[in-house]
Amino acid sequence: MLSANYSTLTQGLIGNSFAARSGARRLRTPLFGAWTYKMTDEPKTASQLPDPKGYKLLIALPEPDEVTEGGIIKAKQTMEIEEIGSICGFVLKMGPDAYKDDKKFPSGPYCNEGDWILMRSYSGTRFKIHGKEFRLINDDSVEAIVEDPRGVEKV
């Protein structure tokens, strides 16, 4: 069992999967340039959400309603179609260059982190993490800000 915080173990003894599970960091040592692992107190957890680069915005899509207003339960396929074609989203993160172009955005940014926005349908790069859909969209794809996304529907 490993006891000390700063125990150094060679890669040949523990393998790469150990580092991912235990929070060990991979370091290069001066002796023969071998890879070693240095133990830390807390296991490192990777953030599943990507950091947007450049002028991109990371958008979370709202969950579609499972039941219609009349009480009819929607099919899974119907809910997926509604989610894919969603025009409403929540701004989670903004890339470092988003809204920095004064010529393109003379009155300032269209939105900020934490805003609910309306965007073009099917815009951006779509991806799912643990079954939840997200999008990376361009900063100029934002059409409007809405205070309450409930009730906003694509026509």
pLDDT 10s digits, 2-37: 333 333 333 333 344 444 444 445 444 454 555 544
Q: pLDDT: is 130 or 143 the higher one?
A: 143
DSSP H or E stretch at residue 79: helix 76-84
Average pLDDT over residues 105-129: 94
Looking only at Cα atoms, what is the longest distance across the chain? 71
pTM of the prediction?
Answer: 0.66
Intervals of CATH 2.30.33.40 along the chain: 56-146
Whether domain 56-146 has CATH 2.30.33.40: the reply is: yes
Q: What's the whole-number average pLDDT of the chain?
A: 77
End-to-end CA distance of the chain: 61
Query: What CA–CA distances, in Å, run from 19 to 10, 49, 50?
Result: 11, 21, 21
